[in-house]
Amino acid sequence: FIPNNYCYHSINSVTMTPLLIHWTLNSQMASIFNLLFLTLFFALVFKAYGDCALSQIGVRQYKTSDYAHGMPVLKVNVTNNCECTQSQVKFNCTDFQTYLSIDPAIFSDDCLLIQGGPFYPSQSAIFYYAWDPKFTFTPISSQTSCS
């Protein structure tokens, strides 16, 4: 008879009796392995959670029905699609031109969004410009802050 918390492992070649291994040793080892695995998993998840890719700064442009100096007016909607707050969001604006003045509190001449201030998750910043062809606004840098 082998008790429930023991498992039959092998036979002692000298005495020809079963060698019993206490099952709780095996389950303790499994528990330790599971704990280590979960710790590693959560460390990787939370590391990834704290990083925002520049691709998570969404930029959408819409042509409005307005014109300025014969150029179409475009509405630019920039959205933070990351779960973390970003700041110092900067765009590549090489060769960007517009006939409209843009509020520098929203989008400055040095291509900094909302004066480099916090850009919260799901927040949008909207500005308008007038030019043809449409300019491609590409984010080039930001700082992430998760709390």
Given this model, what pLDDT does residue 113 score? Answer: 98
Query: How many residues in total does the chain contain?
Result: 147
Confidence of residue 51 (pLDDT cuts 50, 70, 90): confident
Q: Kindly indicate the confidence band of residue 64, based on its pLDDT and cuts at 50, 70 and 90.
A: very high
Domain locations in the chain as residue ranges:
6-49, 54-145
Is 114 within 8 Å of 88 (Cβ atoms)? Answer: no
Q: Would the pTM of this model clear 0.85, i.e. be above it?
A: no
Give the pLDDT mean for 120-128: 98
Q: 3-state SS string over the chain?
A: CCCCCEEEEEECCCCCCEEEEEHHHHHHHHHHHHHHHHHHHHHHHHHHHCCCCHHHEEEEEEEEEEEECCEEEEEEEEEECCCCEEEEEEEECCCCCCCCCCCCCCECCCCEEHHHCCECCCCEEEEEEECCCCCCCEEEEEEEECC
Dump pLDDT digits (tens) for 97-113: 999 999 999 999 999 99
Q: Measuring CA to CA, which residue among 127, 123, 146 is closest to residue 137?
A: 127
Average pLDDT over residues 121-143: 97
d(C-alpha 63, C-alpha 125), whole Å:
16
